[in-house]
Structure 1
């Protein structure tokens, strides 16, 4: 069960190495797993699938 919902900026990199950032809503589960919801087609999904790295900025 999520314990909080907040806004975060996620940073990923595109195939050409250029950085990309997106504001997303997320929640943190009791086991500290971070969960976010998105459409299937955004670049962040492609970037995460292809490279598996992300930086998160929580304010």
Structure 2
């Protein structure tokens, strides 16, 4: 399987992981870079337990 990226570059994805073609799209790669930057910048929330995490997720604010 061959995938052409938005930059015009092409990459080869083996048939073993061709079901993960989306990983190589520009949108996925841009979001991956954004997520790594947020992690490096400390822009995340840590929880001591699952109940605190669920409460945070369910908070409408």
Q: TM-score, normalised by structure 1?
A: 0.30
Query: Which protein has greater RCO, CA pairs closer than 8 Å, 6+ apart?
Result: 1
In terms of fraction of residues, the more strand-rich structure is: 1
In terms of fraction of residues, the more helix-rich structure is: 2
Q: TM-score, normalised by structure 2?
A: 0.30
Larger Rg belongs to: 2
